[in-house]
A and B are shown apart, each in its own frame.
Chain A
Amino acid sequence: MVKITVDGKVFEVDPNNNLLQEILSQQEDLPYFCWHPAMGSVGSCRQCAIIEYANDEDQRGRQVMACMTSPREGGRYSIAAAAKFRAQAIESIMTKHPHDCPVCEEGGECHLQDMTVMSGHTYRRYDGKKVTHTNQYLGPFIGHEMNRCITCYRCVRYYKDYAGGKDFGPQASHNHTYFGRFQEGPLESEFSGNLVEVCPTGVFTDKVFSKHYSRKWDLQTAPSVCAACGVGCNITPGERYGTLRRVVNRFNHEVNGYFICDKGRFGTGYVNSDERIRVAMTRTTRDANPVLTDPAAAKAQLLSLKGKAIGIGSPRASLESNYALRELVGAENFYAGVSDVEFGLLNQVLDIYQNRPVNIANIKDIEDSDAVLILGEDLTNTAARLALAVRQSAKNLAKELAEQAKFPAWHDAAIRQLAMGRKSPVYILAGHATRLDDIAKKVHIASAQDSARIGFAVAHALDASAPAVSGLSEAEQALVDSIAADLKAAKRPLIISGTSSLEPALLNAAANIATALFDGDKKANLALTVPEANSLGLALLMQGSSNTLGKALSSGKKTAIVLENDLYRRAPSAQVDAFIESLDYLAVLDSLQHPTGEAANLVLPAATFAESSGTFVNYEGRAQYFYSVFKPVAPILASCKWLTEGKKTQEITAQIAALLPNGEVLNKLTPGPDFTVAGMRVPRQQHRYSGRTAMRAHINVHEPKQEQDEDGILAYSMEGVPALKDSTVFNTPWAPGWNSNQALFKFETAVGGPLKQATVGEHLIVANASSKSWYAADVQQVSGAGYRVVPLYHLFGSEELTARSEAIQAKATSAYVALNPADAEKLGLGVTDGVQVQHNGSVPVLLRDSILPGSVGISVGLKGLNFQNMSATVELNKANDWQTPKDWRSSNIIVSDKRDI
């Protein structure tokens, strides 16, 4: 730490960071554009100019850019003395900025507006003509309004350098510089949505949000957790006039940092969907039309099933809802609502985390790793945010080189020049080419079983006491040696695997490698992805019980309650049909209509994540509490409220805390239901929230009482202490003069560091094993006639709920199979033909070079094919009378090895 003086104030700052970052960390206001905490400095916008004085006598000083300067011991600086220069710089930036603010989606949360006001430039003196640009169509997510650009280069630095996108860049020169694609078309990156937050002005805007736009101050928000995958990114959804309008990133340095993926950002349209279940319904027989039922009577019916029914839980319902169902039906009648294979894998993940000497890697651990091995996981499609983090880990070699060359770590452009494309080693073993292949040192395409064998061999190469495998080919052995050498040399090695390959041996292999890297002192990083928002929560709640879904379907019980689950996505269709047929009474609680609900005798409208509170447990076993953003329209209720009698959500949380080992951490997630600041609850609405006396006036001019949240803590109101004064429940960043999301630094202990008060979640899993033990290197090879099935996941479309959002549907496609061109030729298939998949109808074919001969990639979760119906191998035939489904859009499948002709 060094001591510096800024305008007479003395600060202790970190000399390894740049001066801008450190001044902001001290909560001082200093304008900037091009610098971003996650992307370092390039010094292109000239906004953070300050005066540096040579010594105490120096009166004149020299102007430096704070973001390109390291603080020096005893340095004396002035922000105020360079104010005139900054005003001039912004005035010249503004000469070509259009007169657009009222019709700009960024208005009111615009970093450019804030900085212009802060620098004191108020009156336009320049009367020359403004430079204009044409816009591009950039797909269904991102709007483009190039006139507003201030050429800070943040978009390119994010999209190309940070997120690894290849279809976007700067064009033209001088004050004509243009940022866009070479040709119009959808942005390919799965992280394009962050451009909206990265761009300091309104060049890139959220197109989905714009369709039902509302200003930032008009959005009712609450701290929430993304329900779209197992990573559990923190988000801030915003509501207006009773509908969910948008989702933005909520900073959590251990889970998602500054960025989220496009599925999380644009995939919440289902909350407003016409397919929502909005009333309680009953059916006397399976085929009868549903009858509208009084909610109270429906609830009484549901509760009367206590002790008589079996309950099927859900990996996408909160811990509270699952627990409430478990209480209602009794633990012995509570079954896991995931496929049997998946349930086995989830228990295995828990076993590895609990009993192996590994460090469960969070996003920071992943970004800091200097050697990564990905075992059988298409990370971009199964846990997208982790893929973005792995991309950052590949840059650690550059950082190391910079350190050797005595370059500061924030010097972004210089470090990239120094590295010249050299990267930290990333190995990918997968069944097909993935979107991370461009940063990989070696991509090895193999079946999950062969990948597992290689994994076991790597563990053996690292530690001779680990079980060995025999029969590796020469190429495989070379790969094993290379991986083992790089992992051994690394200071912070990381193994990533997960459940998506549906191969238990793969998880065992990953565990063995991480165990082998444990040297009795330092644990290796291990991240095992899980499919859904609360997959691990459900597995924890099952407490090692053997109540699999398969057992539920063949239990012989006549009454069942299904919680937020479509069984047709969990088990073979025939098995579910038989189960439903065998039942006398089926009750379903869910938010969207689906085939299971359509066969139910009792259907209850459940709230989505946006309308309910609860706890999700992510891939690390991190429990995170999400708050309801707005009150659902009656009779919609959170599942846990349907299943219990007048209990607050947190009372259920407390019961779970008592049940689970280490469960007491759950009580730390929220400040408690009676929490108030200055006698008031935390407001969900900002202090500028408008229209309170007019928004419901067309229904009745007499204003109703403010909606009450019986769960406490937050209020559906603008009354209360603003977040800045007490950020225990961190909602939306805003600070005086900082209306954009850049206000975040006011809430951080230091830029990029943890938030001052808000929770980062609590680890439910205690990983304190400290002795080595090994899984046997047994790999069950797949046998059987036909093609070996490789599951293909899609960020857009594979997840059940987000796939029902309009924006996601525009980027998704219907079900298909992917084949190696050689196999396709054998079957006589062309790119426009269809394939008959055993007894499951016909789907289009996609030719991919990376699919191994003898294997077939089968899309998971996409419309038109139930993946659960697939066995390990399937027979394929050319479809007769083939007609391409209208939802088939191969252009939405972005893979490098696709053969279009």
Chain B
Amino acid sequence: MLKAIGKQLYVLWSQVVTLALVFTHLFKKKDTVEYPDVMPYMFPRWRGRIILTRDPDGEERCVACNLCAVACPVDCIALQKTEDENGRWYPEFFRINFSRCIMCGFCEEACPTHAIQLTPDFEMAEYVRQDMVWEKQHLLISGTGKYHDYNFYKIAGKAIGGKGKGEARNELPPVDRRSLLP
């Protein structure tokens, strides 16, 4: 009998303590962020909205190698290679279906030219799902993104407009194929 009464009292006491604890929160600093009036700090390497960047010369970095597409676990990237008159590869179209994207960042890891990058922007909700399909014109930015210096074609051996054979980094001038000299 006494034991039962004691238990009831304990329950009552516990309620009071809880109320007191909640009450003390009135005097503590708020955890709630007044989003969107107050924007949270997003870390630079946060994996949010995907962009396509340009190299330091302002040219498209994407060479349409398809590695992002094949790395994508939900297969939400589709693109088609084409090339300019000087042999530089670039995507004819580049499409990401963000309604499927899981922001895993595999595409960024797979990209050999630092073209595709994930950004801290996460505000991508749409009322119409079709609007979550982004084409190259939506993805391509005018800057270099997180990696400022890398320029794939300055290292690759393939000649493009403005860079001939032997003009890439660490290359000898083209050999004279009619010479047998050492």
Q: A133-B177, A148-B157, A173-B180 are in contact. Are A103 and B89 (CB under 8 A)?
A: yes
Which size bracket describes the interface of B in this complex? Answer: 35 or more
When distances are taken between beta carbons in the complex, the residues of chain B under 8 Å from A698 are: 95, 133, 135
Asked if B66 and A701 sit within 8 Å, CB to CB, the answer is no
Residue of A nearest to B170 (CB): A129
Asked if B74 and A693 sit within 8 Å, CB to CB, the answer is yes
Asked if B63 and A131 sit within 8 Å, CB to CB, the answer is no
When distances are taken between beta carbons in the complex, the residues of chain A under 8 Å from B148 are: none
Interface status of B44 (Cβ within 8 A of chain A): no
When distances are taken between beta carbons in the complex, the residues of chain B under 8 Å from A174 are: 182
Residue of B nearest to A215 (CB): B66
When distances are taken between beta carbons in the complex, the residues of chain B under 8 Å from A212 are: 80
Interface string of A673-688 (1 = CB under 8 A from B): 0000000000000001
Residue of B nearest to A692 (CB): B75
From the candidates A103, A173, A690, name the one contacting B63 in the complex (CB within 8 A).
A103
From the candidates B63, B76, B77, B165, name the one contacting A133 in the complex (CB within 8 A).
B165
Asked if B170 and A127 sit within 8 Å, CB to CB, the answer is yes
Interface status of A176 (Cβ within 8 A of chain B): yes
Interface status of A189 (Cβ within 8 A of chain B): no
Asked if A132 and B72 sit within 8 Å, CB to CB, the answer is no
Interface status of A214 (Cβ within 8 A of chain B): yes
Asked if A103 and B65 sit within 8 Å, CB to CB, the answer is yes
When distances are taken between beta carbons in the complex, the residues of chain A under 8 Å from B113 are: 102
When distances are taken between beta carbons in the complex, the residues of chain A under 8 Å from B133 are: 694, 697-698, 701
Using a Cβ–Cβ cut-off of 8 Å, how many residues does chain A contribute to the interface with B?
Answer: 49
Residue of A nearest to B164 (CB): A134
When distances are taken between beta carbons in the complex, the residues of chain A under 8 Å from B168 are: 98-99
Interface status of B51 (Cβ within 8 A of chain A): no
Asked if B97 and A102 sit within 8 Å, CB to CB, the answer is no
Interface string of B93-126 (1 = CB under 8 A from A): 0011101100000000000110000000000000
When distances are taken between beta carbons in the complex, the residues of chain B under 8 Å from A700 are: 130
Interface string of B167-182 (1 = CB under 8 A from A): 0101111111111101
Interface string of A213-230 (1 = CB under 8 A from B): 111011000000000000
Asked if B165 and A176 sit within 8 Å, CB to CB, the answer is no
Asked if B81 and A214 sit within 8 Å, CB to CB, the answer is yes
Asked if B75 and A133 sit within 8 Å, CB to CB, the answer is no
Q: A101-B112, A102-B63, A102-B65 are in contact. Are A690 and B175 (CB under 8 A)?
A: no
| Separation of A690 and B97 alpha carbons in the complex (Å) | 13
Interface string of B137-166 (1 = CB under 8 A from A): 000000000000000100111110000011
Q: A99-B157, A218-B66 are in contact. Are A694 and B171 (CB under 8 A)?
A: no
Q: A691-B75, A694-B100 are in contact. Are A100 and B156 (CB under 8 A)?
A: yes
Chain A nearest CB from B177 CB (Å) reads 4
Asked if B156 and A694 sit within 8 Å, CB to CB, the answer is no
From the candidates A99, A217, A690, A697, name the one contacting B155 in the complex (CB within 8 A).
A99
Interface status of B29 (Cβ within 8 A of chain A): no
Asked if B70 and A215 sit within 8 Å, CB to CB, the answer is yes
Interface string of B58-101 (1 = CB under 8 A from A): 00000111110110101111111101000001000001110110
Asked if B165 and A132 sit within 8 Å, CB to CB, the answer is yes
When distances are taken between beta carbons in the complex, the residues of chain A under 8 Å from B155 are: 99
From the candidates B70, B97, B177, name the one contacting A172 in the complex (CB within 8 A).
B177
Chain B nearest CB from A380 CB (Å) reads 30
Chain B nearest CB from A875 CB (Å) reads 49
Residue of A nearest to B77 (CB): A694
**What is the interface of chain A mostly: helix, strand, loop, or mixed?**
loop
Interface status of B129 (Cβ within 8 A of chain A): yes
Q: A102-B63, A103-B158, A147-B165 are in contact. Are A690 and B174 (CB under 8 A)?
A: no
Interface string of A713-724 (1 = CB under 8 A from B): 000000000000
Within 8 A of B (CB), among A94-136: 98-104, 107-108, 127-135
Interface status of A771 (Cβ within 8 A of chain B): no
Asked if B135 and A693 sit within 8 Å, CB to CB, the answer is no
| Separation of A148 and B158 alpha carbons in the complex (Å) | 9
Chain B nearest CB from A212 CB (Å) reads 7
Asked if A690 and B70 sit within 8 Å, CB to CB, the answer is yes
Q: A99-B156, A103-B158 are in contact. Are A132 and B172 (CB under 8 A)?
A: yes
Asked if A98 and B66 sit within 8 Å, CB to CB, the answer is no
Within 8 A of B (CB), among A145-197: 145, 147-148, 171-174, 176, 178, 180
Q: A172-B177, A212-B80 are in contact. Are A693 and B75 (CB under 8 A)?
A: yes
| Separation of A128 and B169 alpha carbons in the complex (Å) | 11
From the candidates A131, A173, A178, A691, name the one contacting B172 in the complex (CB within 8 A).
A131
Interface status of A241 (Cβ within 8 A of chain B): yes
Asked if B175 and A132 sit within 8 Å, CB to CB, the answer is yes
From the candidates B78, B81, B165, B173, name the one contacting A690 in the complex (CB within 8 A).
B78
Chain B nearest CB from A633 CB (Å) reads 18
When distances are taken between beta carbons in the complex, the residues of chain A under 8 Å from B174 are: 132-134
From the candidates A99, A107, A172, name the one contacting B175 in the complex (CB within 8 A).
A172
Asked if B172 and A694 sit within 8 Å, CB to CB, the answer is no
| Separation of A128 and B171 alpha carbons in the complex (Å) | 8
| Separation of A692 and B72 alpha carbons in the complex (Å) | 10
Residue of B nearest to A695 (CB): B78
Q: A100-B157, A172-B175 are in contact. Are A691 and B77 (CB under 8 A)?
A: yes
Asked if B78 and A180 sit within 8 Å, CB to CB, the answer is no
When distances are taken between beta carbons in the complex, the residues of chain B under 8 Å from A172 are: 175-180
Chain A nearest CB from B146 CB (Å) reads 19
Asked if B157 and A694 sit within 8 Å, CB to CB, the answer is no
When distances are taken between beta carbons in the complex, the residues of chain A under 8 Å from B72 are: 690-691
Residue of B nearest to A127 (CB): B170
Asked if A697 and B158 sit within 8 Å, CB to CB, the answer is no
Chain B nearest CB from A760 CB (Å) reads 33
Chain B nearest CB from A473 CB (Å) reads 50
Asked if A130 and B180 sit within 8 Å, CB to CB, the answer is no
| Separation of A147 and B87 alpha carbons in the complex (Å) | 15
Residue of B nearest to A128 (CB): B170
| Separation of A191 and B72 alpha carbons in the complex (Å) | 38
| Separation of A108 and B69 alpha carbons in the complex (Å) | 13
| Separation of A702 and B179 alpha carbons in the complex (Å) | 61
Residue of B nearest to A241 (CB): B80
Asked if B171 and A132 sit within 8 Å, CB to CB, the answer is yes
When distances are taken between beta carbons in the complex, the residues of chain A under 8 Å from B173 are: 132
From the candidates A99, A102, A127, A690, name the one contacting B77 in the complex (CB within 8 A).
A690
Asked if B152 and A217 sit within 8 Å, CB to CB, the answer is no
Chain A nearest CB from B2 CB (Å) reads 67
| Separation of A608 and B87 alpha carbons in the complex (Å) | 32
Asked if B112 and A176 sit within 8 Å, CB to CB, the answer is no
Chain B nearest CB from A330 CB (Å) reads 48
| Separation of A104 and B66 alpha carbons in the complex (Å) | 11
Interface string of A589-623 (1 = CB under 8 A from B): 00000000000000000000000000000000000
When distances are taken between beta carbons in the complex, the residues of chain A under 8 Å from B158 are: 98, 100, 103-104, 145, 147
Residue of B nearest to A218 (CB): B66
When distances are taken between beta carbons in the complex, the residues of chain B under 8 Å from A697 are: 76, 78, 95, 97, 133
Chain A nearest CB from B76 CB (Å) reads 5
Q: List 20 A-B contacts (CB under 8 A).
A: A99-B155, A99-B157, A100-B158, A131-B172, A132-B166, A132-B173, A134-B165, A218-B70, A690-B72, A691-B69, A691-B75, A691-B78, A693-B97, A697-B133, A698-B135, A701-B97, A701-B99, A701-B130, A701-B132, A702-B129
Known: A102-B65, A693-B100, A701-B129. 16 other contacts (CB 8 A): A99-B168, A102-B67, A102-B89, A132-B171, A135-B165, A145-B158, A147-B158, A172-B176, A180-B177, A213-B64, A214-B66, A218-B70, A241-B80, A690-B70, A693-B97, A694-B95
10 closest Cβ pairs, A-B complex: A98-B157, A691-B78, A102-B65, A694-B78, A690-B69, A178-B177, A147-B157, A132-B166, A176-B175, A692-B75
